[in-house]
Amino acid sequence: MADLSAFPITKQYPAKDPSVLQLYSTPTPNGVKVAIALEELGLPYEAHFVDIMQNQTWTPDYLSLNPNGKIPAILDPNGPGGKPFVLWESGAILVYLADKAGKLIPADPAGRYETLQWVFWQMAALGPMTGQMGFFHKFAGKDWEDKRPRDRFAAEVKRLLGVLEGRLADRPFIMGQEFTIADIALIGWVRAIPAFRSQPSRAPRTLDPTRRRPIGGRRPGWRTGHR
């Protein structure tokens, strides 16, 4: 049985089964990605709900896990070299899990780099821009008098969705017929877009589950991960 007692996070969230991967998360657009990947890969794990509304990521125990004070984060008792391994940043965790299981990322180098390109695009562009749009449309920034930041982020999200629509115009998933971590990275954020606007907006085409686009694919991991 793995001993995780050296990790202070296990005081805040005790591990019932320290032999399986420990997930610290919340079903936000970033948090949901890791749960979806774990479900899709069928890897055993134990999920700990981190209440970000109660600032639970800012405790000394949580910060010892992730000094950036954000979910998601993992503690894998069987990391590289068979040693316990901590990782945070959802994109890095997705790549780690895909490599660990040897699934959800193409094996050929070109396909692998192209998948990573879309994961990075989500992490650097669609995610942060949508987050800012949500801040200015719906959350604390909605009462700001100056509407230019709101309009700037909304316009950029619209442009980015156009890029995504273009990519999906002739294929069911980002990488063609294969469902990968690039799709998983995008799921939560694209689904959040209608809710992050002050007025309900027509869901982008990528959200329509009947089209079986990656965002709406009726996959078991998608459902469980989003709960």
**Binds ligand GSH (CB under 6 A): choice among 15, 36, 37, 71:** 71
- Kindly give the pairing relationship between strand 21-25 and strand 73-76: antiparallel
**How is residue 202 written in tokens?**
């027509």
**Binds ligand GSH (CB under 6 A): choice among 89, 99, 114, 156:** 89
**Binds ligand GSH (CB under 6 A): choice among 52, 86, 101, 125:** 52
* Cα–Cα distance for residue pair 154/37, rounded to 1 Å: 29
Nearer CB in complex with ligand GSH: 5/55: 55
The answer to the question of residue 66 lying near ligand GSH (CB under 6 A) is no
CA atoms within 13 A on the CB side of 205: 11
The answer to the question of residue 191 lying near ligand GSH (CB under 6 A) is no
Number of residues that bind ligand GSH (CB under 6 A): 11
Return the C-alpha torsion angle 95, 101, 190, 62, nearest 10.
Answer: -60
Please list every residue from 13 through 42 that binds ligand GSH, using CB under 6 A: 28-31
Which residues share a beta bridge with 73? 24, 88
| Beta carbon of residue 128, minimum distance to ligand GSH (angstroms, whole number) | 8
| Beta carbon of residue 222, minimum distance to ligand GSH (angstroms, whole number) | 17
Is the separation of the CB atoms in 49 and 26 below 8 Å? yes
SS3 call for 86: strand
Binding site for ligand GSH (CB under 6 A): 28-31, 52, 57, 70-72, 89-90
